[in-house]
Structure 1
Amino acid sequence: MFKFLHSLALVTTTAAQLTCPGSFNKISAWDFSARLNPGWNTGNTLDAMPTETSWGQQPLVNETFTNAKNRGFKGIRIPVTWADHFIANDANYTVDPAWLRRVYDSWLNPDATGFNRNETLAKFYRFWFQIGTKLGCKSSLLAFETINEPSGNTSKAEDGDFLNNLHANMVKAISDAGGFNKDRVVILCGLSDGYTTATQYLKLPPNMTNPWALTWHMYGPWSFTAAAFGDTIWGSDADNTDMYNNIHWGRTNFTNVPIIIGEFGIGTAMTETAARWKYYDFVVNSAYSSNTSVMLWDASSSFAPNTTQPYGDQTALDIIIHAAKGVHNALANSTENGNDPTYWSSSQLFQKLGSPIQDTNLPFLWNNKSITSISCSDGPCQPILRKGVDYQTNSQNITFTKDFMSSLFPSNAQSGLKANMVFHFDQDAADLRIPAYLWSKPSLAVTNVTITNATAQNDLWVPIKYAGMPQVAMATAQMINNTYLVNSWTQWSGPMIRGAATYGDDWSYNGTHVAVLASDLQQVIAAGVTTVFTFECYPRTGTGDNNAILTITPRE
């Protein structure tokens, strides 16, 4: 397993102190980058502030890394915040020895636009000298990454030059520390970990002997990856072209440098499954075709022993692992036109309660792959479905027969999950997990709430009874004067986004409740207008028959 590390340095020289026993198996940055692909981030643990468990994750243990490795990840990136772990009032900026022992990767994020730069250089030199001393005898499978997402004015060369100084001082500090550090892989970045700023400003440290790689982070397009405005749509030709160009633009400008996309990822709570699968497959395959490695951003509790927070989409992990080998996976398909009045997806098999049973088509992107078998569990189905009896396939669809649908969704069935199917494919493609849901309209425990300025200071959580798939696709906030409470610009968007509030900023949900967050409650108070919050579940029919509605009235 590969591990690597990041932060800064200084211009002062400290005599080399570390001598290592044995030999160092030198590795090129190209080999290092290739062998860690795909990699995984231990997000929200050692980078939490002020300490490891402050953001609700479990402490990192050896089994966490073993589980990630067994899942198929080949490299580990361990972001760490050091700002709260220097010994107080120590002029030498000594890191707490207990914390230094605890970590293998680091970051402290200075803003390049305005602070005491000399002090920062001093602190970072001492900081990296201590890390270089502590870890200088580790094998070549450990790399150092200077700093995580250094902020600054991306249009100011001065800020880019300061970042170059930080890179140079880090390299000097680890070299001064001794050990094997002069030959260790180092990983450099541009302002905000962007590929365009690296192209604009990045200059290599003078006299550097270390093999090096470039890193940048990718979370775009933000409207989709964060479902910021109810945007559950991805995968059009335009989406693919834009993503391909972004990834290959970096390679075009750094043709002779290994590149690591050090962070990328999508939240599973608020993005649509098929669109998410298409995104991951295309991103990782595009990176593969440009000889670029990828590292998934994730909260580390996904692989903690006995975790209660497993990664929210196991199929997505399979897709990433297989795509990193250059496999174009078979994929569920979904709506790709934001102007469509409804949203369809084949990542679930849906049947509406009370609707006639019939042959049901699910469109798929086979990518020259063929189904070898479909297993089925947790429902009234055969362990292995029978081709020609339970389903048929053609070049664009899988069709579940009326008889199979009748057995899965009998007339006396209640809404909810009815079965879990797994599609197995040839040519080493990822398995696809396809659940089957019988659905009807969800309901809220209360539908009308009156708020005051005092009660608007806290989030409002309301119990919801899901009647099918327990996921909210989108929420809108429309005042009774027919204007939108937030994101008013969406009035000119397509029907699948129009009026959307932002997940995490305006609203939230879990397995038992939906929430209007305090920020929106306060906007309702400020507007003085009754506002209707509509929570739309999957499938997104566009007809309102899968919506739960909460009306909030302000009172002085």
Structure 2
Amino acid sequence: MRRKPIRLIAALVAVAAAVAAALTVRTAFAEPETPPEDGAAVQLGAEATVAAMQPGWNLGNSLDAVGEDETAWGNPRITPELLDSIRAQGFNSIRIPVTWSAHQAETGDYAIDAAYLARVQEVVDLALEDGFYVLINIHHDSWQWVNQMPTRHDEVLARYNAAWTQIAGAFADAPPELVFENINEPQFADVGEEEGDALLNELNESFHAIVRGSGGVNAQRLLVIPTLHTSSEQARLDAAAASIAALDDPMIAATVHYYGYWPFSVNVAGYTTFNEEVRGDIVAAFDRVKATFIDQGVPVILGEWGLLGFDKHTGVIEQGEKLKFFEYLGYYANEVGMTTMWWDNGQHFDRGSHTWKDPDLFAHVAGAWAGRSGTAASDQVYVPAGEAPAAAAVPLQLNGLEFAGVFNGDTELAAGTDYTLDGEQLTLSAGLLASLADGAALGERAVLEVRFSSGVPWKLHIIASTAPAVQDATGTTTELAVPVAFNGDQLATMEAVYPDGTPAGPQDWTAFKEFAVAFTPDYEAGKIVLPEAFFAAVDDNATVNLTFHFWSGKTIEYTVERSGTVVTGSAA
């Protein structure tokens, strides 16, 4: 049943009235209590608790999986060994997203299945025993049923209240290292942002009253309140700040999520590099969070962060550009004083072997916990196979560090012979490159390390290549596989336009298509695949001119003709 309009208006007025209060400095912080007897845990203040949680990791796609079991989305059952392994990586907190919908009655008393609640308790206890701070929440329920609150207000609120009543009751005596986040990425169907803010404020008030009224450690447990959509837009920050101020509770933290400047994060519209615009988006978002919350005494947890392109696979963004993003984000989060909890749904830490799938990526994530690492304009140096190479300039980004040398394995290269350094301009000599790329083999020939006074070394991949080549192909609108001899090169992006120059295919506002959506390279099979999603947005009986852009700087022109469901491709 939809709530009465006057109730919504009152809620909006209440939120607006509290905005000014939210922007004032909060001076009341929960101080640690007198040390209790028998070694019981001490409750830290909100800022100290959030600081102690840095750095954090998400146990994604496990207890939050939509289905009957925590393995429903492909991850193995959570074990003590997994948690031990994550703790050993240096993480101090773990966010355990929990989706309750499949385990909670949809009517009546909205009871949560006892066996499922016990499993959540078991995992939480294991994590606490490992020394983690632990954050649990209501997760995918946000889009499964909580988002229906505008049209089913009383029913949704009753179910939400029942869920938190049961969760709070089950964990009332858990140590203060357990933290509650009221809901993940809150959203509400078919309403404007301001009405969404008001609805979220209602949930915040219910959550706060239920937990604080449930007794035990919950009376002072740290509670985490998100912005609408966990957005860092200023209007959403202001609304959440107002809601938090109205609760007048020093043991509250705010949370937002950040997955990067969108075109870069999915590799679309030509944003293939970590440029100033991409970096500036991090700065602007984090500065807003700092000014709205942290500077006002409300600590902030970056509850999820990463890159949206990882939803396809982690190769959507070129390795070096990816590493620069992760290095800078971690550094700047530290600068503003924000605790980070890295999103990992199984893409990063192999939950079977308990190893990192990309050790270099984790090295840059972990390196940012302590300070900066040096980087460079690129991590690739292309050498023409079968030709005498020229010297290659590689602009470094020292990031406040000092240059400490270039190494090939354990061998330090000779300054003045193998390379020269002029300020931040590193130049690899022609002789060095000729020796590294000697022979006819294509592809990566060596990996050099540029080392700095501290932080993670920057790897330079020396790649021997010749010009890529494509062949004619025939397919259907389900898929066209373009045969490609990559010849050691790698694909950066693809343009698609009609003969009049207008963009063709999906993302019709840009000629540069989205990586792994409109096209995907397959290096092992030697092809570039144009999938159904590309042709679904291509006119029938149309010609499309493609330009494949490679990281070496080379390009290839290719023409695609569509007639009904038949597609033909031809090299220029």
- Shorter-chain TM-score: what band? 0.7 to 0.9
- In structure 2, what is the Cα distance between the partners aligned to 1:309 and 1:480? 49
1:20-169 to 2 correspondence within 5 Å?
Answer: 23-50=40-67, 51-87=69-105, 91-103=108-120, 104=124, 105-106=136-137, 107=139, 108-109=141-142, 110-111=146-147, 114-152=150-188, 155-169=192-206
From 377, 384, 387, the counterpart of 1:352: 384
The verdict on how the C-alpha distance between 1:319 and 1:117 changes in structure 2, with shifts beyond 3 A counting, is same
Query: Once the 2 structures are TM-superposed, how far is the Cα of residue 331 of structure 1 from its aligned partner?
Result: 1.1
Greater Cα shift, 203-212 or 499-508: 203-212
Q: Residue type matched to 2:47 in 1?
A: W
Q: Residue type matched to 1:315 in 2?
A: D
Q: Residue type matched to 1:137 in 2?
A: D
Residue in 1 aligned with 2:560? 551
Residue in 1 aligned with 2:272? 232
The verdict on how the C-alpha distance between 1:65 and 1:443 changes in structure 2, with shifts beyond 3 A counting, is farther
Residue in 1 aligned with 2:426? 398
The CA RMSD measured in Å over matched residues stands at 3.1
The normalised TM-score by structure 2 is 0.77
The verdict on how the C-alpha distance between 1:504 and 1:188 changes in structure 2, with shifts beyond 3 A counting, is same
Contact 1:530–1:554 (8 Å) recurs in 2: no
Per-residue CA deviation, residues 494-534 of structure 1 (Å, 9 max, x unaligned), is xxxxx21122432234443532221222333x432133444
Query: Once the 2 structures are TM-superposed, how far is the Cα of residue 482 of structure 1 from its aligned partner?
Result: 4.6
Query: Once the 2 structures are TM-superposed, how far is the Cα of residue 475 of structure 1 from its aligned partner?
Result: 2.0
| Alignment partner of 1:385 is 2:413 | yes
- In structure 2, what is the Cα distance between the partners aligned to 1:136 and 1:400? 62
- In structure 2, what is the Cα distance between the partners aligned to 1:310 and 1:478? 40
Q: Residue type matched to 1:34 in 2?
A: A
Per-residue CA deviation, residues 362-390 of structure 1 (Å, 9 max, x unaligned), is 1101123234354435xxxx744344443
The verdict on how the C-alpha distance between 1:464 and 1:99 changes in structure 2, with shifts beyond 3 A counting, is farther
| Alignment partner of 1:503 is 2:512 | no
| Alignment partner of 1:478 is 2:528 | no
Per-residue CA deviation, residues 437-473 of structure 1 (Å, 9 max, x unaligned), is 11223455x632242xxxx3x445556553225x431
Residue in 1 aligned with 2:317? 271
Per-residue CA deviation, residues 339-365 of structure 1 (Å, 9 max, x unaligned), is xxxxxxx21222122443232221101
- In structure 2, what is the Cα distance between the partners aligned to 1:375 and 1:347? 14
From 342, 364, 377, the counterpart of 1:319: 364
Contact 1:449–1:553 (8 Å) recurs in 2: no
- In structure 2, what is the Cα distance between the partners aligned to 1:358 and 1:102? 62
Query: Once the 2 structures are TM-superposed, how far is the Cα of residue 73 of structure 1 from its aligned partner?
Result: 3.1
The verdict on how the C-alpha distance between 1:476 and 1:214 changes in structure 2, with shifts beyond 3 A counting, is same
Gaps of 5+ in 2: 1-37, 125-135, 566-572
Q: Which structure is richer in relative contact order (CA contacts within 8 A, separation 6 or more)? A: 1
1:207-222 to 2 correspondence within 5 Å?
Answer: 211-222=251-262
Contact 1:61–1:304 (8 Å) recurs in 2: no
| Alignment partner of 1:249 is 2:249 | no
- In structure 1, what is the Cα distance between the partners aligned to 2:351 and 2:73? 18
Contact 2:473–2:481 (8 Å) recurs in 1: no
Contact 2:473–2:482 (8 Å) recurs in 1: no
Contact 1:112–1:159 (8 Å) recurs in 2: no
- In structure 1, what is the Cα distance between the partners aligned to 2:301 and 2:174? 21
Specify the SS of the correspondent of 1:84.
Answer: helix
1:266-345 to 2 correspondence within 5 Å?
Answer: 266=307, 267=310, 268-307=314-353, 310-312=356-358, 314-325=359-370, 327-333=371-377
Residue in 1 aligned with 2:216? 179
Query: Once the 2 structures are TM-superposed, how far is the Cα of residue 315 of structure 1 from its aligned partner?
Result: 3.4
- In structure 1, what is the Cα distance between the partners aligned to 2:70 and 2:548? 35
Q: Residue type matched to 2:447 in 1?
A: N
The verdict on how the C-alpha distance between 1:538 and 1:56 changes in structure 2, with shifts beyond 3 A counting, is farther
Specify the SS of the correspondent of 2:209.
Answer: helix
- Structure (1 or 2) with the greater helix fraction: 2
From 504, 509, 532, the counterpart of 1:489: 509
Contact 2:447–2:462 (8 Å) recurs in 1: yes
Provide the identity percentage: 23
Q: Residue type matched to 2:364 in 1?
A: I
Contact 1:58–1:301 (8 Å) recurs in 2: no
Specify the SS of the correspondent of 2:101.
Answer: coil
Contact 2:220–2:251 (8 Å) recurs in 1: yes
Contact 2:540–2:562 (8 Å) recurs in 1: no
Specify the SS of the correspondent of 1:92.
Answer: coil
- In structure 2, what is the Cα distance between the partners aligned to 1:415 and 1:435? 13
| Alignment partner of 1:425 is 2:452 | yes
Gaps of 5+ in 1: 1-20, 334-345, 491-498
Query: Once the 2 structures are TM-superposed, how far is the Cα of residue 145 of structure 1 from its aligned partner?
Result: 0.6
The verdict on how the C-alpha distance between 1:398 and 1:101 changes in structure 2, with shifts beyond 3 A counting, is farther
Query: Once the 2 structures are TM-superposed, how far is the Cα of residue 134 of structure 1 from its aligned partner?
Result: 2.9
- In structure 2, what is the Cα distance between the partners aligned to 1:318 and 1:241? 23
Residue in 1 aligned with 2:19? none
Q: Residue type matched to 2:92 in 1?
A: K
Specify the SS of the correspondent of 1:501.
Answer: coil
How many residues align? The count is 494
Query: Once the 2 structures are TM-superposed, how far is the Cα of residue 187 of structure 1 from its aligned partner?
Result: 0.5
- In structure 1, what is the Cα distance between the partners aligned to 2:346 and 2:250? 30
Query: Once the 2 structures are TM-superposed, how far is the Cα of residue 63 of structure 1 from its aligned partner?
Result: 3.5
Q: Residue type matched to 2:115 in 1?
A: A
- In structure 2, what is the Cα distance between the partners aligned to 1:414 and 1:450? 32
- In structure 1, what is the Cα distance between the partners aligned to 2:101 and 2:110? 10
| Alignment partner of 1:515 is 2:529 | yes
- In structure 2, what is the Cα distance between the partners aligned to 1:93 and 1:530? 57
Query: Once the 2 structures are TM-superposed, how far is the Cα of residue 192 of structure 1 from its aligned partner?
Result: 0.8
- In structure 2, what is the Cα distance between the partners aligned to 1:331 and 1:142? 37
The verdict on how the C-alpha distance between 1:177 and 1:552 changes in structure 2, with shifts beyond 3 A counting, is farther
- In structure 1, what is the Cα distance between the partners aligned to 2:548 and 2:118? 47
The verdict on how the C-alpha distance between 1:80 and 1:243 changes in structure 2, with shifts beyond 3 A counting, is same
Contact 1:390–1:400 (8 Å) recurs in 2: yes
Q: Residue type matched to 1:193 in 2?
A: T
Contact 2:383–2:465 (8 Å) recurs in 1: yes
Specify the SS of the correspondent of 1:200.
Answer: helix
Specify the SS of the correspondent of 2:435.
Answer: helix
Contact 2:545–2:557 (8 Å) recurs in 1: no
| Alignment partner of 1:416 is 2:429 | no
- In structure 2, what is the Cα distance between the partners aligned to 1:517 and 1:156? 35
Q: Residue type matched to 1:187 in 2?
A: V
Q: Residue type matched to 1:419 in 2?
A: A
Residue in 1 aligned with 2:133? none
The normalised TM-score by structure 1 is 0.79
Specify the SS of the correspondent of 1:417.
Answer: strand
